[in-house]
A and B are shown apart, each in its own frame.
Chain A
Amino acid sequence: MNNPYFDLLMWARGPGFDIALTIMVGGILLRLVEIFVLGRKKDLAAPKGNGVLQGLRTVFTRSVPRKGAMKEAPVTYIAGYLFHIGFFVAFLFLGAHIALIGDLIGIQWPAANKALIEIATAIAVVALIALLWTRFKDPVRRALSTFDDYLVWVLSILPLVTGYAAVNTMFGDSTLMMAIHMLSAEALMIAFPFTKLMHAVTFAVSRYYNGSIQGRKGAES
Chain B
Amino acid sequence: MSASLEKGLNALREQIDAPVASFFTSCVSCGICAEACLFYQETGDPKYTPIHKLEPMRRIWSNEFTLLGRAKSMLGMGRKVTEQDLADWEELVYDSCTMCGRCTLVCPVGNDITMMIRKMREGMSASGNAPEELVAGAKRHWEKGSPMGDLLPALTAHVKNVEKSTGIQVNVDKKGVDYLVILSAQEVAVYNEVIEALARILDKAGVSWTFSSEAFEGTNVGIQIGSKDLAREFVSRTVNAAEKLKVKGVISPECGHAYQALRWEGPNLIGRTYPFEVVHVIELLDRLRADGRLKTKGMDHAKLTFHDPCQINRRGGINHEPRRLLNMVADNFTETEDAGTMNWCCGGGGGVGSNESATELRLQAFQRKKRQFEAVAPEKIVTMCAYCHHILEESLEHYDMDIEVQGLTELMAEYLEDA
Contacts and interface: CB of A to CB of B under 8 A. Distances in A.
A and B assemble together: yes
Interface of A: 30-31, 34-41, 43-46, 48-49, 58-59, 62-63, 65-69, 72-73, 76-77, 80, 138-146, 149, 194, 196, 198-199, 202-203, 205-211, 213-214, 217-221
Interface in B8-46: 16-23, 25-32, 34-36, 40, 44, 46
Interface string B259-275: 00001111110011110
Contact of A44 (B49, B67, B268): B268
A196 B28 contact: yes
B257 interface: no
B185 to A, nearest CB: 23
Contacts of A214: 104, 315, 317
A199 B65 contact: no
A71 to B, nearest CB: 9
A144 B108 CA distance: 16
A49 B21 contact: no
B21 A209 contact: no
Contacts of A220: 105, 314, 317, 319, 341
B109 A207 contact: yes
Contacts of A40: 17-19
Interface stretch (B110-118, B214-222, B394-402): B110-118
Interface string B63-88: 00111100000000000000000000
A6 to B, nearest CB: 35
B47 interface: yes
B49 A140 contact: yes
Given A38-B17, A206-B22, A76 B271 contact: no
Contacts of B22: 35, 202, 205-206, 209
Contacts of B268: 41, 43-45
Given A140-B34, A206-B110, A66 B105 contact: yes
Given A40-B18, A220-B341, A144 B109 contact: no
A160 to B, nearest CB: 18
B338 interface: yes
Contacts of A80: 30, 108
Contacts, number: 176
B241 interface: no
Contacts of B121: none
B149 interface: no
Given A46-B273, A73-B32, 17 more contacts: A34-B66, A35-B18, A38-B18, A40-B17, A45-B263, A65-B108, A69-B35, A73-B31, A76-B31, A138-B31, A143-B46, A203-B108, A213-B112, A217-B315, A217-B316, A219-B313, A219-B341
Given A36-B18, A41-B268, A203-B26, A31 B67 contact: yes
A162 B110 CA distance: 33
12 contacts: A62-B108, A66-B105, A67-B342, A73-B30, A142-B46, A143-B47, A145-B29, A194-B68, A210-B107, A217-B264, A219-B316, A221-B105
B389 interface: no
B338 A68 contact: yes
B31 A38 contact: no
Given A199-B25, A217-B317, A143 B106 contact: no
A144 B29 contact: yes
B111 A206 contact: yes
Given A210-B110, A220-B341, A199 B27 contact: yes
Residue picked from A45, A67, A208, most chain B C-beta under 10 Å: A45
B202 to A, nearest CB: 22
Interface in B81-136: 104-112, 115
Nearest to A197: B28
Contact of A210 (B21, B112, B316): B112
Specify which of B17, B109, B265, B342 lies most central, judged by the most chain A CB atoms within 10 Å of its CB.
B109
B49 A143 contact: yes
Contacts of B307: none
Contact of A196 (B29, B105, B277): B29
A144 B274 contact: no
B88 to A, nearest CB: 14
B188 interface: no
B31 A208 contact: no
Contacts of A145: 29
B51 interface: yes
Contacts of A77: 32
A206 B26 contact: yes
B25 A66 contact: no
Contact of A35 (B21, B46, B49, B338): B21
A219 B315 contact: yes
A128 to B, nearest CB: 13
B30 to A, nearest CB: 5
B141 interface: no
A63 B17 CA distance: 25
A30 B112 contact: no
A219 B110 contact: no
Of A41, A80, A210, chain B has the most CB atoms within 10 Å of the CB of A210
